[in-house]
Structure 1
Protein backbone atom coordinates (compact mmCIF):
# COMPACT_ATOMS: atom_id res chain seq x y z
CA UNK A 1 0.00 0.00 0.00
CA UNK A 2 1.40 3.38 -1.03
CA UNK A 3 1.76 5.90 1.77
CA UNK A 4 4.41 8.22 0.27
CA UNK A 5 4.61 9.93 -3.12
CA UNK A 6 7.87 11.48 -4.34
CA UNK A 7 7.51 13.71 -7.40
CA UNK A 8 10.05 15.09 -9.81
CA UNK A 9 9.44 18.76 -10.69
CA UNK A 10 10.24 19.43 -14.35
CA UNK A 11 7.90 17.82 -16.91
CA UNK A 12 5.86 16.48 -14.01
CA UNK A 13 4.45 19.82 -12.85
CA UNK A 14 6.18 22.54 -14.89
CA UNK A 15 6.48 21.89 -18.64
CA UNK A 16 9.95 21.78 -20.14
CA UNK A 17 11.43 22.18 -23.61
CA UNK A 18 14.50 20.02 -23.16
CA UNK A 19 16.01 20.97 -26.50
CA UNK A 20 15.63 24.72 -26.00
CA UNK A 21 18.84 25.32 -24.07
CA UNK A 22 20.93 23.49 -26.68
CA UNK A 23 19.24 25.49 -29.47
CA UNK A 24 19.93 28.78 -27.69
CA UNK A 25 23.51 27.81 -26.85
CA UNK A 26 24.12 26.81 -30.46
CA UNK A 27 23.23 30.35 -31.53
CA UNK A 28 25.90 31.55 -29.10
CA UNK A 29 28.50 29.27 -30.64
CA UNK A 30 28.26 26.42 -28.16
CA UNK A 31 27.65 23.31 -30.25
CA UNK A 32 28.43 20.54 -27.80
CA UNK A 33 29.14 19.94 -24.13
CA UNK A 34 32.73 18.94 -23.42
CA UNK A 35 33.49 16.61 -20.46
CA UNK A 36 34.59 19.70 -18.51
CA UNK A 37 31.26 21.43 -19.21
CA UNK A 38 29.28 18.34 -18.17
CA UNK A 39 31.29 18.21 -14.96
CA UNK A 40 30.54 21.91 -14.29
CA UNK A 41 26.85 21.42 -15.08
CA UNK A 42 26.59 18.56 -12.60
CA UNK A 43 28.57 20.44 -9.96
CA UNK A 44 26.21 23.38 -10.36
CA UNK A 45 23.17 21.10 -10.04
CA UNK A 46 24.67 19.83 -6.80
CA UNK A 47 25.25 23.36 -5.54
CA UNK A 48 28.99 22.77 -5.39
CA UNK A 49 29.69 25.96 -7.31
CA UNK A 50 27.85 29.28 -7.20
CA UNK A 51 25.78 30.81 -9.98
CA UNK A 52 28.46 33.44 -10.52
CA UNK A 53 31.14 30.75 -10.83
CA UNK A 54 28.97 28.76 -13.23
CA UNK A 55 28.16 31.72 -15.48
CA UNK A 56 31.76 32.98 -15.33
CA UNK A 57 32.99 29.56 -16.47
CA UNK A 58 30.83 29.64 -19.60
CA UNK A 59 31.60 33.28 -20.23
CA UNK A 60 35.32 32.51 -20.12
CA UNK A 61 34.82 29.64 -22.56
CA UNK A 62 32.62 31.73 -24.87
CA UNK A 63 33.49 35.42 -24.34
CA UNK A 64 31.46 36.59 -27.36
CA UNK A 65 28.28 35.66 -25.49
CA UNK A 66 27.15 38.02 -22.76
CA UNK A 67 26.40 36.67 -19.30
CA UNK A 68 22.73 37.57 -19.72
CA UNK A 69 22.59 35.64 -22.99
CA UNK A 70 24.07 32.61 -21.27
CA UNK A 71 21.57 32.87 -18.40
CA UNK A 72 18.64 33.26 -20.81
CA UNK A 73 19.84 30.22 -22.79
CA UNK A 74 20.10 28.15 -19.62
CA UNK A 75 16.56 29.10 -18.57
CA UNK A 76 15.05 28.54 -22.03
CA UNK A 77 14.19 24.99 -20.99
CA UNK A 78 11.51 26.27 -18.60
CA UNK A 79 7.96 26.70 -19.89
CA UNK A 80 4.53 26.98 -18.26
CA UNK A 81 2.88 25.47 -15.19
CA UNK A 82 -0.58 24.18 -16.18
CA UNK A 83 -3.27 25.15 -13.68
CA UNK A 84 -4.86 21.70 -13.63
CA UNK A 85 -1.65 20.30 -12.13
CA UNK A 86 -1.68 22.92 -9.40
CA UNK A 87 -5.26 22.00 -8.56
CA UNK A 88 -4.32 18.33 -8.51
CA UNK A 89 -1.51 18.74 -6.00
CA UNK A 90 -3.48 21.20 -3.85
CA UNK A 91 -6.35 18.72 -3.58
CA UNK A 92 -3.97 15.86 -2.88
CA UNK A 93 -2.30 17.84 -0.10
CA UNK A 94 -5.67 18.88 1.32
CA UNK A 95 -6.90 15.27 1.45
CA UNK A 96 -3.83 14.41 3.53
CA UNK A 97 -3.94 10.72 2.60
CA UNK A 98 -0.29 10.57 1.53
CA UNK A 99 3.04 12.07 2.51
CA UNK A 100 4.14 14.22 -0.44
CA UNK A 101 7.68 15.10 -1.49
CA UNK A 102 9.47 16.89 -4.33
CA UNK A 103 12.85 15.53 -5.47
CA UNK A 104 14.30 17.52 -8.34
CA UNK A 105 17.60 17.99 -10.13
CA UNK A 106 17.67 21.74 -10.51
CA UNK A 107 19.80 24.79 -9.89
CA UNK A 108 19.62 28.29 -8.52
CA UNK A 109 19.14 29.90 -11.94
CA UNK A 110 16.10 27.76 -12.70
CA UNK A 111 14.49 28.20 -9.30
CA UNK A 112 15.07 31.96 -9.41
CA UNK A 113 13.41 32.09 -12.85
CA UNK A 114 10.44 30.06 -11.62
CA UNK A 115 10.01 32.27 -8.55
CA UNK A 116 10.03 35.37 -10.73
CA UNK A 117 7.82 33.93 -13.50
CA UNK A 118 5.23 32.40 -11.16
CA UNK A 119 5.51 35.02 -8.45
CA UNK A 120 6.48 34.10 -4.91
CA UNK A 121 2.86 33.67 -3.80
CA UNK A 122 2.15 30.87 -6.28
CA UNK A 123 5.60 29.33 -5.77
CA UNK A 124 5.13 29.27 -1.99
CA UNK A 125 1.60 27.87 -2.33
CA UNK A 126 2.96 25.06 -4.50
CA UNK A 127 5.92 24.39 -2.22
CA UNK A 128 3.67 24.21 0.83
CA UNK A 129 1.81 21.26 -0.68
CA UNK A 130 4.82 19.08 0.12
CA UNK A 131 6.23 17.83 3.39
CA UNK A 132 9.75 18.24 2.00
CA UNK A 133 10.92 20.10 -1.10
CA UNK A 134 14.26 18.58 -2.05
CA UNK A 135 16.26 20.43 -4.71
CA UNK A 136 19.58 18.96 -5.78
CA UNK A 137 21.52 22.21 -5.46
CA UNK A 138 20.35 22.58 -1.86
CA UNK A 139 21.04 19.03 -0.66
CA UNK A 140 24.24 18.58 -2.76
CA UNK A 141 23.02 15.32 -4.28
CA UNK A 142 21.58 14.56 -7.71
CA UNK A 143 19.63 11.89 -9.52
CA UNK A 144 20.22 9.19 -10.67
CA UNK A 145 22.80 8.55 -7.92
CA UNK A 146 21.39 6.05 -5.44
CA UNK A 147 22.46 8.15 -2.45
CA UNK A 148 19.86 10.83 -3.17
CA UNK A 149 17.02 8.31 -2.86
CA UNK A 150 18.58 6.76 0.23
CA UNK A 151 18.84 10.24 1.73
CA UNK A 152 15.12 10.92 1.24
CA UNK A 153 14.12 7.51 2.59
CA UNK A 154 16.33 7.81 5.68
CA UNK A 155 15.55 11.45 6.44
CA UNK A 156 11.81 10.79 6.45
CA UNK A 157 11.62 7.22 7.73
CA UNK A 158 10.08 5.99 4.49
CA UNK A 159 9.76 2.33 3.54
CA UNK A 160 10.57 1.73 -0.16
CA UNK A 161 7.65 -0.67 -0.61
CA UNK A 162 5.26 2.04 0.66
CA UNK A 163 6.72 4.70 -1.64
CA UNK A 164 6.25 5.65 -5.29
CA UNK A 165 8.64 7.90 -7.20
CA UNK A 166 7.48 9.67 -10.37
CA UNK A 167 9.99 11.05 -12.87
CA UNK A 168 10.13 11.60 -16.62
CA UNK A 169 13.71 10.29 -16.92
CA UNK A 170 14.04 6.51 -17.14
CA UNK A 171 17.54 6.47 -15.66
CA UNK A 172 16.17 8.13 -12.52
CA UNK A 173 13.26 5.73 -12.05
CA UNK A 174 15.49 2.72 -12.70
CA UNK A 175 17.78 3.62 -9.80
CA UNK A 176 14.81 4.21 -7.51
CA UNK A 177 13.32 0.86 -8.53
CA UNK A 178 16.60 -0.90 -7.75
CA UNK A 179 16.13 0.24 -4.15
CA UNK A 180 12.66 -1.29 -3.96
CA UNK A 181 10.74 1.94 -4.58
CA UNK A 182 7.68 1.76 -6.83
CA UNK A 183 8.08 4.01 -9.87
CA UNK A 184 6.28 5.66 -12.73
CA UNK A 185 8.44 6.76 -15.64
CA UNK A 186 5.96 9.35 -16.91
CA UNK A 187 6.16 10.21 -20.61
CA UNK A 188 5.58 13.98 -21.11
CA UNK A 189 3.05 14.79 -23.80
CA UNK A 190 1.48 11.33 -23.57
CA UNK A 191 0.82 11.09 -19.84
CA UNK A 192 -0.03 13.59 -17.12
CA UNK A 193 0.56 13.53 -13.37
CA UNK A 194 -3.13 14.24 -12.73
CA UNK A 195 -3.85 10.70 -14.00
CA UNK A 196 -1.66 9.13 -11.30
CA UNK A 197 -4.44 7.24 -9.56
CA UNK A 198 -5.84 5.92 -12.83
CA UNK A 199 -2.47 4.98 -14.28
CA UNK A 200 -1.19 3.34 -11.09
CA UNK A 201 -4.51 2.30 -9.58
CA UNK A 202 -3.28 -1.18 -8.62
CA UNK A 203 -0.76 0.38 -6.24
CA UNK A 204 -3.31 2.58 -4.52
Structure 2
Protein backbone atom coordinates (compact mmCIF):
# COMPACT_ATOMS: atom_id res chain seq x y z
CA UNK A 1 0.00 0.00 0.00
CA UNK A 2 1.41 3.38 -1.00
CA UNK A 3 1.68 5.84 1.89
CA UNK A 4 4.42 8.15 0.60
CA UNK A 5 4.63 10.09 -2.68
CA UNK A 6 8.08 11.34 -3.65
CA UNK A 7 8.03 13.77 -6.57
CA UNK A 8 10.66 15.21 -8.89
CA UNK A 9 10.18 18.90 -9.80
CA UNK A 10 11.36 19.64 -13.36
CA UNK A 11 9.19 18.22 -16.16
CA UNK A 12 6.92 16.74 -13.51
CA UNK A 13 5.49 19.98 -12.16
CA UNK A 14 7.38 22.79 -13.91
CA UNK A 15 7.92 22.52 -17.66
CA UNK A 16 11.48 22.41 -18.96
CA UNK A 17 13.18 22.92 -22.30
CA UNK A 18 16.17 20.66 -21.75
CA UNK A 19 17.75 21.46 -25.11
CA UNK A 20 17.57 25.24 -24.69
CA UNK A 21 20.81 25.80 -22.72
CA UNK A 22 22.96 23.84 -25.17
CA UNK A 23 21.29 25.59 -28.08
CA UNK A 24 21.89 28.99 -26.48
CA UNK A 25 25.53 28.17 -25.77
CA UNK A 26 25.98 26.86 -29.32
CA UNK A 27 24.91 30.26 -30.66
CA UNK A 28 27.83 31.68 -28.71
CA UNK A 29 30.27 29.20 -30.18
CA UNK A 30 30.15 26.55 -27.45
CA UNK A 31 29.00 23.44 -29.27
CA UNK A 32 30.21 20.66 -26.94
CA UNK A 33 29.51 19.99 -23.27
CA UNK A 34 32.73 18.21 -22.35
CA UNK A 35 33.59 16.07 -19.33
CA UNK A 36 35.01 19.02 -17.40
CA UNK A 37 31.81 21.03 -17.86
CA UNK A 38 29.66 18.05 -16.87
CA UNK A 39 31.72 17.75 -13.68
CA UNK A 40 31.08 21.45 -12.94
CA UNK A 41 27.34 20.93 -13.45
CA UNK A 42 27.14 17.88 -11.18
CA UNK A 43 29.28 19.52 -8.50
CA UNK A 44 27.12 22.63 -8.66
CA UNK A 45 23.93 20.57 -8.34
CA UNK A 46 25.40 19.06 -5.17
CA UNK A 47 25.99 22.54 -3.78
CA UNK A 48 29.74 21.96 -3.65
CA UNK A 49 30.54 25.05 -5.71
CA UNK A 50 28.69 28.38 -5.74
CA UNK A 51 26.93 30.10 -8.62
CA UNK A 52 29.79 32.59 -8.79
CA UNK A 53 32.32 29.76 -9.06
CA UNK A 54 30.35 28.07 -11.84
CA UNK A 55 30.10 31.34 -13.77
CA UNK A 56 33.81 32.05 -13.23
CA UNK A 57 34.70 28.60 -14.58
CA UNK A 58 32.68 29.27 -17.74
CA UNK A 59 34.06 32.77 -18.27
CA UNK A 60 37.64 31.53 -17.92
CA UNK A 61 37.08 28.72 -20.40
CA UNK A 62 34.97 30.75 -22.82
CA UNK A 63 36.06 34.43 -22.87
CA UNK A 64 33.27 35.28 -25.35
CA UNK A 65 30.72 34.80 -22.57
CA UNK A 66 29.58 37.37 -20.04
CA UNK A 67 28.05 36.55 -16.68
CA UNK A 68 24.69 37.73 -18.01
CA UNK A 69 24.83 35.79 -21.28
CA UNK A 70 25.81 32.63 -19.42
CA UNK A 71 23.04 32.98 -16.86
CA UNK A 72 20.46 33.60 -19.58
CA UNK A 73 21.61 30.48 -21.42
CA UNK A 74 21.76 28.43 -18.21
CA UNK A 75 18.26 29.44 -17.11
CA UNK A 76 16.64 29.06 -20.52
CA UNK A 77 15.73 25.50 -19.48
CA UNK A 78 13.10 26.82 -17.02
CA UNK A 79 9.63 27.34 -18.48
CA UNK A 80 6.14 27.68 -16.98
CA UNK A 81 4.32 25.94 -14.13
CA UNK A 82 0.76 25.14 -15.28
CA UNK A 83 -1.86 26.23 -12.77
CA UNK A 84 -3.73 22.92 -13.02
CA UNK A 85 -0.71 21.08 -11.61
CA UNK A 86 -0.43 23.52 -8.72
CA UNK A 87 -4.15 23.19 -8.00
CA UNK A 88 -3.81 19.40 -8.10
CA UNK A 89 -0.94 19.16 -5.61
CA UNK A 90 -2.62 21.71 -3.30
CA UNK A 91 -5.77 19.56 -3.21
CA UNK A 92 -3.73 16.39 -2.68
CA UNK A 93 -1.91 18.01 0.23
CA UNK A 94 -5.21 19.12 1.75
CA UNK A 95 -6.51 15.54 1.60
CA UNK A 96 -3.71 14.39 3.94
CA UNK A 97 -4.01 10.90 2.45
CA UNK A 98 -0.28 10.60 1.73
CA UNK A 99 3.02 11.93 2.95
CA UNK A 100 4.23 14.24 0.17
CA UNK A 101 7.92 14.85 -0.45
CA UNK A 102 9.88 16.49 -3.24
CA UNK A 103 13.34 15.41 -4.43
CA UNK A 104 14.92 17.53 -7.14
CA UNK A 105 18.32 17.87 -8.78
CA UNK A 106 18.64 21.63 -9.00
CA UNK A 107 20.79 24.65 -8.24
CA UNK A 108 20.56 28.23 -7.01
CA UNK A 109 20.38 29.85 -10.45
CA UNK A 110 17.56 27.57 -11.56
CA UNK A 111 15.57 28.01 -8.35
CA UNK A 112 15.91 31.79 -8.67
CA UNK A 113 14.51 31.52 -12.21
CA UNK A 114 11.72 29.19 -11.08
CA UNK A 115 10.62 31.72 -8.46
CA UNK A 116 10.84 34.52 -11.02
CA UNK A 117 8.73 32.57 -13.53
CA UNK A 118 6.19 31.28 -11.00
CA UNK A 119 6.04 34.27 -8.71
CA UNK A 120 7.02 34.08 -5.04
CA UNK A 121 3.45 33.46 -3.83
CA UNK A 122 2.82 30.50 -6.14
CA UNK A 123 6.25 29.04 -5.35
CA UNK A 124 5.51 29.29 -1.63
CA UNK A 125 2.11 27.66 -2.14
CA UNK A 126 3.81 24.81 -3.96
CA UNK A 127 6.59 24.37 -1.41
CA UNK A 128 4.10 24.32 1.46
CA UNK A 129 2.37 21.26 -0.05
CA UNK A 130 5.31 19.07 0.94
CA UNK A 131 6.41 17.65 4.25
CA UNK A 132 9.98 17.73 2.90
CA UNK A 133 11.36 19.77 0.02
CA UNK A 134 14.71 18.21 -0.83
CA UNK A 135 16.89 20.14 -3.28
CA UNK A 136 20.16 18.47 -4.30
CA UNK A 137 22.15 21.66 -3.72
CA UNK A 138 21.03 21.75 -0.08
CA UNK A 139 21.69 18.12 0.82
CA UNK A 140 24.91 17.71 -1.21
CA UNK A 141 23.55 14.64 -2.99
CA UNK A 142 22.07 14.15 -6.46
CA UNK A 143 20.05 11.60 -8.40
CA UNK A 144 20.62 8.92 -9.62
CA UNK A 145 23.23 8.18 -6.93
CA UNK A 146 21.76 5.57 -4.59
CA UNK A 147 22.91 7.56 -1.57
CA UNK A 148 20.23 10.19 -2.14
CA UNK A 149 17.38 7.67 -2.01
CA UNK A 150 18.84 6.03 1.07
CA UNK A 151 19.14 9.48 2.66
CA UNK A 152 15.46 10.27 2.07
CA UNK A 153 14.24 6.87 3.26
CA UNK A 154 16.26 7.09 6.47
CA UNK A 155 15.70 10.79 7.13
CA UNK A 156 11.92 10.49 6.89
CA UNK A 157 11.56 6.94 8.18
CA UNK A 158 9.99 5.71 4.94
CA UNK A 159 9.60 2.12 3.83
CA UNK A 160 10.63 1.60 0.20
CA UNK A 161 7.66 -0.64 -0.58
CA UNK A 162 5.25 2.02 0.72
CA UNK A 163 6.83 4.78 -1.39
CA UNK A 164 6.14 5.81 -4.99
CA UNK A 165 8.75 7.97 -6.74
CA UNK A 166 7.71 10.03 -9.79
CA UNK A 167 10.46 11.31 -12.10
CA UNK A 168 10.86 12.08 -15.79
CA UNK A 169 14.39 10.62 -16.06
CA UNK A 170 14.64 6.87 -16.46
CA UNK A 171 18.08 6.66 -14.82
CA UNK A 172 16.57 8.19 -11.69
CA UNK A 173 13.57 5.87 -11.56
CA UNK A 174 15.75 2.84 -12.31
CA UNK A 175 18.03 3.70 -9.40
CA UNK A 176 15.08 4.12 -7.04
CA UNK A 177 13.52 0.90 -8.27
CA UNK A 178 16.73 -1.00 -7.51
CA UNK A 179 16.18 -0.08 -3.85
CA UNK A 180 12.65 -1.48 -3.82
CA UNK A 181 10.89 1.87 -4.27
CA UNK A 182 7.84 1.88 -6.56
CA UNK A 183 8.36 4.23 -9.50
CA UNK A 184 6.61 6.05 -12.30
CA UNK A 185 8.81 7.14 -15.17
CA UNK A 186 6.62 10.01 -16.33
CA UNK A 187 7.07 10.94 -20.00
CA UNK A 188 6.51 14.69 -20.49
CA UNK A 189 4.21 15.51 -23.37
CA UNK A 190 2.54 12.10 -23.17
CA UNK A 191 1.57 11.94 -19.51
CA UNK A 192 0.89 14.45 -16.77
CA UNK A 193 1.43 14.21 -13.03
CA UNK A 194 -2.26 15.01 -12.51
CA UNK A 195 -3.00 11.58 -14.04
CA UNK A 196 -1.09 9.80 -11.25
CA UNK A 197 -4.03 7.94 -9.76
CA UNK A 198 -5.21 6.77 -13.18
CA UNK A 199 -1.81 5.67 -14.49
CA UNK A 200 -0.77 3.98 -11.26
CA UNK A 201 -4.21 2.93 -10.00
CA UNK A 202 -2.99 -0.65 -9.38
CA UNK A 203 -0.82 0.65 -6.54
CA UNK A 204 -3.60 2.50 -4.73
TM over 0.5: yes
| CA positional deviation for 1:117 | 2.0
State the distance in 1 between where 2:187 and 2:113 align. 24
Match of 1:78?
78
Match of 1:91?
91
Give me the CA root mean square deviation: 0.6
Q: TM-score, normalised by structure 2?
A: 0.99
CA contact (8 A) 2:10 2:104 kept: yes
State the distance in 2 between where 1:116 and 1:90 align. 20
Match of 1:129?
129
Match of 1:169?
169
Q: CA offsets, 1:43-71, max 9 Å, x none?
A: 00000000000001001111111110000
Question: Alignment length, in residue pairs?
Answer: 204
Q: Following superposition of structure 1 onto structure 2, how do residues 164-203 of structure 1 map, counting pairs within 5 Å?
A: 164-203=164-203
Match of 1:39?
39
State the distance in 1 between where 2:65 and 2:125 align. 36
Gapped regions of structure 1 (runs ≥ 5): none
| CA positional deviation for 1:42 | 0.4
| CA positional deviation for 1:122 | 1.0
State the distance in 2 between where 1:113 and 1:198 align. 32
State the distance in 2 between where 1:57 and 1:89 align. 38
Q: CA offsets, 1:9-48, max 9 Å, x none?
A: 0000000111001100101111111111111110000000
Match of 2:154?
154
Q: Hey, which bits of structure 1, 4+ residues long, moved more than 6 A?
A: none
Q: CA offsets, 1:149-178, max 9 Å, x none?
A: 000000000000000000000000000000
State the distance in 2 between where 1:137 and 1:82 align. 25
State the distance in 2 between where 1:119 and 1:83 align. 12
Q: TM-score, normalised by structure 1?
A: 0.99
Match of 2:63?
63
Answering whether residue 114 of structure 2 is matched by residue 111 of structure 1, we say no
Q: CA offsets, 1:125-160, max 9 Å, x none?
A: 100000000000010000000000000000000000
Q: CA offsets, 1:89-112, max 9 Å, x none?
A: 000000000000110000000001
